[in-house]
Amino acid sequence: MCASASCQESGDVRQADRALTRAILNTWCDRFPSGWIGRRLVPLFLDAGLGGVVTHPKTLVSSDLGVADRVFSFFATAEGLVHAGIISRADADRWIGELQAADTAGRFFTSYTGFLVSGNRPVY
pLDDT tens track of the chain, all 124 residues? 344 444 444 455 667 788 898 899 889 888 888 877 878 899 999 999 999 999 998 899 999 999 999 999 999 999 999 999 999 999 999 999 999 999 999 999 998 888 889 999 988 7
Burial of 39 (0-12, 13-18, 19+ CB in 10 A): exposed
In a domain, 124, yes or no: no
What is the pTM for the complete model shown? 0.74
CA distance 90 to 84: 14
In a domain, 122, yes or no: no
Predicted pLDDT at 82: 97
In a domain, 33, yes or no: yes
Give the structural domain span for 8. Answer: 2-117
In a domain, 91, yes or no: yes
In a domain, 88, yes or no: yes
> How many CA atoms lie within 13 Å of 96's alpha carbon, on the beta-carbon side?
18
In a domain, 123, yes or no: no
In a domain, 39, yes or no: yes
Based on the structure, what is the number of domains in the chain?
A: 1
In a domain, 61, yes or no: yes
